[in-house]
Structure 1
Amino acid sequence: MSFKKILYGAAYYYEYLPYDRLDKDIEMMLEANINVVRIGESTWSTYEPEDGVFDFSTLDKVLDAMNQAGISVIVGTPTYAIPSWLSKKYPEVMVQVDGHRKPYGARQIFDISSPAFLRYAERIIRKMVSHVARHPAVIGYQVDNETKYYGTSSKNVQQGFVQFIKKEFNNDLDKFNKEFGLDYWSNRINSWEDFPSMDGTINGSLQAEFDRYRRELVNQYLKWQVELVAEYRLSDQFITHNFDFEWRGYSFGIQPEVDHFKASESLDYAGVDVYHPSRKHLTGAEISFAGDEMRSLKHDNYLVLETQAQAFKQQVPYPGQLRQLAFSHIASGANMVEYWHWHSIHNSAETFWKGILSHDFQPNPVYDEVVETGKQFKQLSQHIVNLKVTADVAFLVSNQSLSAIQNFPFSDKRNYNDAFRLLYDEFYKLNVRTDIVDEHHIQLDNYRLIVVPALYSVSDIFLSQLNDYVEAGGHVIYTFKSGFTDEHVKVRTDVQPGIISKSIGAHYELFVDPDGCRLVPESQVINPTSDLLLKDWMELLIPDTAEVIASYDDPNWQGYAAITKNTFGKGATIYIGCLPSKEVIHQIIQAFVEEVGIRRTSEDFPIIVKQAINEFGKQITFYFNYSGVVQTTHNSVTGNELIRGSKVSGPLSLEPWGVAIIET
């Protein structure tokens, strides 16, 4: 699917307004060239105030007004926040964690597998979507909102997990017990009827399997909603969902509770909610990694369904940042940028998560910048819509490894996503384009380099495929903890790192806490004046055929390698057996990328460069200055600068938090 123009807009909640100002809001939206709003996803209790009593009058009012103004609408199914009458009538719909039901009040506190919840959710979806489907303003639907399994472990979830295990192991209890080591501490299950609740398990491997099952519940739930909506939607209306990520006050890494790769299969477009640090902390890395993953899910452009305007007090942008960020989304492959949200609300949980308009509803510097950005989006839309992005490098991420490392951590301060972001951010700063994929969807031969952070849990078959990929001429960067366990988080009995030892040309028998240990550079790849202090984890690598890039300075670990490089067949691998500084990672990546011949510009952060091909077959190059001082490119830039409408030839100067778009 492709879009005729860039969509630019905001979530709009008429039901939250302290007074009716719909006409004034639309007037201000039109001034900002906003052409899309998202509505409806959070107000089930308004549309169904009593069991079986429906009132879509506010929905109709907004749809009619938006249509008259020429603003398109995405309608969200309202199932992520349930009405109070439903929880009172069927208390079993409330999510149960460790045997205790959560009280009513917050959003996303229900069991997505509850039969009662699903029955009522289906009814409101059918009523609502059938009511709006033929409205001319509606261009698409968002199913649910940031769906996860919410930690649910209710009785029906426990029973479903038993059936999941039965099917996976073909009713063979002995095989199941052996695979998960359940003889330990007398955890053996000798009858399916005796299968205990997972709430009390001490078996991290089985807990990771339970997490995998609950991620599958999310897949089923979203697919179920898509199929319901598809019964009513018109042929030119799309279906999407807004995926989110691990949350650390902003979007940080792979979402633990959702397998984005599988969950997105039923969608027309992948959609994303991405939030990030702001002001002097802004790097653009969160926008980039979120975009790389979303673009890779469907191998297509994606939709930014939520991103910040003002947000919390620590995220209010500097002048110029909001415009820069909007173009950053487009440069990563987005066809829509939509803020959460249009107006700030005046009470309840998110009162101070501010929208484009503050509580006084008056124009402000953020709104003024939205106006400027909307004007430029309208002006440039035909040049930057449906951009096609290709990458020579892929990050291989793994929900199963993330879950496994949660249960078997390598650190009490850092997790799987820290390992992922340690590598990703340095590729980003080096301006190397990447896709982000998982082991079930990757086409290895499409890439010249695969980056594999902490692939702790994975099948023998896939590790052998990685070896074959390298032998045939591919390149891989592995980090510590890779290849350690199988897909059920059962530790391999081989010398570690097991199967991939063949391609990395090294192995290890011991792993230790660094306890102040530092790297010793053994090649010119690592500058000896760098930050060489190690954190959390060290594998004492024994080179077989590998070249040593770095070793350890602890005299007790002399002779062991920390980082190695190995030629295997026609390809090569890097193995990073420790957790070094960002500076060291940057140097390793830069040297290997240059050796492999991966295309990149000579610019480095804070100048970020992203390229794509537009619908005219021309190359579009975005230049971003992620700093508060003027930056000038090292190389000469030639082409048409689209924002200013002028030709450029020579080094390009970028204002603080500036952006330039060159068409050649």
Structure 2
Amino acid sequence: MRQSASIQRVQRLSPEGRAPPRLKGVRLGRSLALQMVLWVTSDSQVSLLPAPGEILRQDASPSLAKILLIHTSVRCLTVAATFRLCPFAQAEACGYRVFLHSNETLWDIRARRGIMRVGVDYYPEHWEESRWQIDARLMREAGISVVRLAEFSWCKMEPEEGKYDFGWLDRALEVLYKEGIQAVLGTPTATPPAWLHQRYDIYPRDARRYPLGFGTRLQRCLNHPVMRRYSRLITEAMVSHYANHPAVIGWQTDNEFEANLCYCDVCADLFRQWLQRKYGSLEALNKAWGTVFWSQEYSSWSQIPLPWVARCGQSHNPSLWLDYRRFASESTVSFQREQVEIIRRLAPHHFITHNFMGLHDSMDYFALAEDLDFVSWDNYPKGNWEEAGHAALAHDVMRGIKGKNFWVMEEQSGITGWEHVGRRPAPGQIRAWAWQAVAHGADAVVFFRWRSCLYGTEQYWHGILNHDGVPRRRYREVARFGEEMNRLSAELDGTTPNHQVAILNSYEQNWALQIQPQVSGLRWWDQVRRYYHSFRRLGAGVDIVPIETDLKRYRLIAVPSWYILTERDAHSLTDYVREGGILILSPRTGVKDERNVCRTEPLPSLLREAAGVEVDDYDPLGDAQNRIRLSTGEEFTVSVWADALLLKGAEEVAVYTHSIFAGEPAIARHRYGKGAVYTFGTYGEPALYDTLLGRILDEARVEWLTGIPADVDACWREKDGTRILFLINLGGEERAVPVPSEVTPLLGTSPQQGTVNLPPYEVGIYRVR
């Protein structure tokens, strides 16, 4: 059942402002637990907010049509009975009764108005129950309002096959809920219990077809029918038990999904079935893949291998490889979908998310996210990035997966590492990273983890508390962020980044370049970084989006090597330029079709008319270098790849100055329709991108901030014409940062003569009029 809300006005307050009547009650269908209180606006639109620790009171303004949310120590009652009214505890409202009717999920309604949250990943099963109350109190005092639980607890919830024990989790949730803390539960299928492995061989096989054994996590083939069956069983048992629990607000599927790159017999059979559905006949497959090469034509579906290790290493047919990558990704999506369908059926009022891994690229994150309400991801700046500013890219990639705000489900809160550990976050860094996430579109920051574990592989993956459980600097830093986040929630609710520049992202392009890298430096994320970090240095915000998005939203789009170019993609990009957009193309665009077979047209093949150029010759430079000179006289070093461009209507922007390509065009611009295409035939040093992209931003009439220091992240969130500027100093030195005129400080110091001085790891947040 899908639910929505409508409002019936019961009594209007008098102009004299007499005390409002108590809220009459809420009617619910099918035993849904009321886990929210309501925000009622004058135009009778409803969104939902969490109930624990909050009550409603009237607005002091003359309209009296709004109900303001304020924090108190009073807990609201829940309603779980079918069609029965129940009053709120000490809740006052402006005389409205709310009814639910079948239309959309409660989460859909609540999502109309964002809810800023601070959370933590908590593992009560790792600690004595006598400690739980202490932890919950400390969480509340730190401003924490949500926890993630149970994603690695299958053996605790089903210690024996078919025998479920949720008692320990019930007690943990009760302790947390009494402190006003709600929960996101994780389906525990990333860690199947030992009894399941002992009875069934569900281990994945590597490319040499060796089984991966028990002792870590993810030791399961997501296609194995036994794994699928037990995944459904534990998911259904969990969701049935917690569908109406007042503390539970949503679900995380599994943990950090990857493509199911398994080489077992089950996967081999399913891959052949997948190919049969796609191609219909062996004749069509042989033609699509070009299996006449090396005498590989197939006369039976059973002859088709997975791309396992062969005598020639991994040099399988590139078309087979790409289809296998697609199949492996779809296998994971299919596995998750089974869990999502169970949750939707049993708990339609709960949200569903998954903790993605930033720039991880083994699978199609766009497809994985389709079934989810929003994306979450795991952010470890000190462990994963050479500098914390690079986390900005991953935040923007994650926001672009569904084109909406996201959660950080694991935010670094200390030293990280398994056998080897990383560096300690400097004082202030944890808070700065958290605010950076919010600046890029996070509506919740959930820190990993609450307390450092005493045992297991992640003993040294530190949490907010050390092993001794004593609150120290990291706790105080998180508590400071929690207080600030909760205080600014009303300002930030419903705001989102909104940019005029985009970079296209495609996992299939990435896979195709992994299958045939050609030269070092042609890697997908390296190309994205070149554009992204230049835009960031210039002060322009960026969205990272799929080509299927509404491209006309953007004034400027940069396209990394669009190696596999379909007719549909070519039409989308051409139409974008024709209607007035400015497009930047990269080397190795239009090389292949969707079969991973080389195109016969001159490069950039289907885009050559819009680009006004053809690639006359190319030189795979790799680590070798060349030089180019812009038409304005500046010279820069280039490497990785060199396309010699033949101008077919385009104008020269830069030429090579060395080697056999000396004097040949390296970069060109072509006016097409109402827009323009810039074709980059090579990859340059950062200064080249900063110089040219700055000019292209001006040509595209993009608004961008100037004078931003390299280690300061400057971001906007906005809503209804109100803009919030975030300035985060991610470096260890004080920085002077220019700000627009007429700003109101929400956090940090007031500007002096148009400049804000940010100490190391300090944050400034400003409302811009």
Q: Which category of TM-score, normalised to the shorter sequence, fits these structures?
A: over 0.9
Q: Give the Å deviation of 1:18.
A: 6.8
Inter-partner Cα distance in structure 2 for 1:512 and 1:637? 49
Q: How does 1:66-465 map to 2 (within 5 A)?
A: 66-169=176-279, 171-199=280-308, 200=310, 202-235=316-349, 237-245=350-358, 253=359, 255-277=360-382, 282-286=387-391, 288-312=392-416, 313-412=421-520, 415-439=523-547, 441-465=548-572
1:485: how far off? 0.5
Q: Which amino acid aligns with 1:66?
A: L
Contact 2:602 2:614 in 1 (8 A): yes
Measured in 2, the distance between the counterparts of 1:641 and 1:419 equals: 37
Alignment partners' CA distance in 2, 1:279 and 1:194: 41
Alignment partner of 1:594 is 2:704: no
- Provide the residue aligned with 1:478 in structure 2: 585
Q: Judge conservation of contact 1:158–1:198 (CA < 8 Å) in 2.
A: no
SS in 2 for 1:284: helix
* Cα drift, residue 510 of structure 1: 2.7
**Aligned partners of 2:522 and 2:599: how far apart in 1?**
24
CA distance in 2, matches of 1:280, 1:296: 20
Q: In structure 2, how many angstroms separate the alpha carbons of the residues matched to 1:20 and 1:574?
A: 65
In structure 2, relative to structure 1, the CA distance for the partners of 1:334 and 1:657 (3 Å cut) is: same
State how far apart, in whole Å, the 1-side matches of 2:522 and 2:460 are.
Answer: 30
Q: 2:688 aligns with which of 574, 584, 594?
A: 584
Aligned to 2:575: 468
Residues 544 and 280 of structure 1, relative CA distance in 2, 3 Å threshold = closer
**Corresponding residue of 2:712:** 607
CA distance in 1, matches of 2:273, 2:594: 19
* Alignment-mate amino acid for residue 395 of structure 2: G
Report the AA paired with residue 577 of structure 1.
G
Q: Partners of 2:371 and 2:423 in 1: how far apart? A: 34
**Matched residue type, 1:206:** L
Q: For 2:667, what is the secondary structure of its paired residue?
A: strand
State how far apart, in whole Å, the 1-side matches of 2:288 and 2:326 are: 16
SS of the aligned residue for 1:641 comes to strand
Under a length normalisation based on structure 1, what TM-score does the superposition of the two structures give? 0.93
For 1:630 and 1:562, the matched residues in 2 are separated by: 40
Q: CA deviation at 1:198?
A: 3.1
Counterpart pick for 1:629 among 720, 733, 736: 733
Amino acid at match of 1:493: T
| Shift in CA distance, 642/457, structure 1 to aligned 2, threshold 3 Å | same
Question: Shift in Å at residue 211 of structure 1?
Answer: 0.1
Superposition deviation, residue 57 in structure 1: 2.2
Q: Which moved more, 1:70-79 or 1:126-135?
A: 126-135
Counterpart of 1:249 in structure 2 is: none
CA deviation after TM superposition for structure 1 residue 194, in Å: 2.5
- Match 1:23 to one of 130, 133, 142: 133
The answer to whether the 8 Å contact 1:622/1:660 transfers is: yes
Deviation string, structure 1 residues 63-92 (Cα, Å, up to 9, x no partner): 010011111111111011111111111114
Alpha-carbon distance between aligned partners in 2 of 1:401 and 1:20, rounded to the nearest angstrom: 52
Q: Which residue of 1 aligns with 2:147?
A: 37
Structure 2 unaligned segments of length 5 or more: list them: 1-110
SS in 1 for 2:381: coil
The structure with more helix, counted as a fraction of residues: 1
Deviations 1:462-494 (A, max 9, x none): 113312221221111111111111112111011
Instruction: Quickly say closer, same or farther: Cα 1:138–1:412, change in 2 above 3 A.
Output: same
Asked whether the 8 Å contact 1:280–1:627 carries over to 2, the reply is no
Give the aligned residue type for 1:257: S
Larger radius of gyration: 2
**Residue of structure 2 equivalent to 1:248:** none
Change (3 A) 1:647 1:508: closer
Determine the structure 1 residue equivalent to 2:666: 562
- After superposition, what is the alpha-carbon deviation per residue over 1:353-381, rounded to whole angstroms, capped at 9, x for unaligned? 11111112112221111111111112111
1:571 to 652, 662, 675: 675
The one-letter amino acid of 1:210's match is Y
CA distance in 2, matches of 1:352, 1:270: 27
Q: 1:542 to 1:280 in 2, by over 3 A?
A: closer
Name the structure 2 match of 1:250: none
Matched with 2:613 is: 506
Deviations 1:505-560 (A, max 9, x none): 22224322336432221322x743xxx33333222222222223322232422232
The 1-side partners of 2:531 and 2:560 are apart by 8
C-alpha change, 1:591 and 1:339, in structure 2 (3 Å) is same
* Equivalent position SS for 1:572: strand
Q: Given that residues 625 and 640 in structure 2 are in contact (C-alpha distance below 8 angstroms), is that contact kept between their aligned partners in structure 1?
A: no
Matches of 1:558 and 1:581 in 2, distance apart? 19
Conserved? CA contact 1:36–1:71, under 8 Å: yes
- In structure 2, the CA distance between the partners of 1:283 and 1:319, relative to structure 1 (3 Å rule), is same
Count of residue correspondences: 647
Partner Cα separation in structure 1 for residue 746 and residue 738 of structure 2 = 21
Tell me the secondary structure at the aligned position of residue 296 of structure 1: helix
Q: CA 1:113–1:316 in 2, change beyond 3 Å: closer, same or farther?
A: same
Read off the aligned partner of 1:459 and give its amino acid letter. T
Q: What is the CA deviation profile of residues 85-134 of structure 1, one whole-angstrom value per residue up to 9, with x for unaligned ones?
A: 11111114444543221111111121111100011111111111211222
Describe the shift of the 1:149–1:299 C-alpha distance in structure 2 as closer, same or farther (beyond 3 A): closer
Work out the CA distance in 2 between the residues paired with 1:13 and 1:457: 44
Whether the aligned pair in 1 keeps the contact of 2:121 and 2:449 (CA below 8 Å) is yes
User: For residues 322 and 408 of structure 2, what CA distance do their matches in structure 1 show?
Assistant: 30
What CA distance in whole angstroms lies between the structure 1 residues aligned with 2:428 and 2:383?
12
Percent identical: 29
Gaps of 5+ in 1: 246-252
Distance 2:739 2:206 in 1: 58
Go from structure 1 to structure 2 and tell me whether the alpha carbon gap of 1:645 and 1:634 turns closer, same or farther (over 3 Å shift): closer
Greater relative contact order (Cα 8 A, min sep 6): structure 1 or 2? 1
Following the alignment from structure 1 to structure 2, what is the Cα–Cα distance between the partners of residues 16 and 447? 48
Look up the SS of the partner of 1:318 in the other structure.
coil
The equivalent residue for 2:27 is none
What is the alpha-carbon distance in structure 2 between the residues aligned to residue 85 and residue 258 of structure 1?
A: 29
Letter in 1 for 2:533: D
Structure 2 CA distance for aligned equivalents of residues 627 and 402 of structure 1: 31
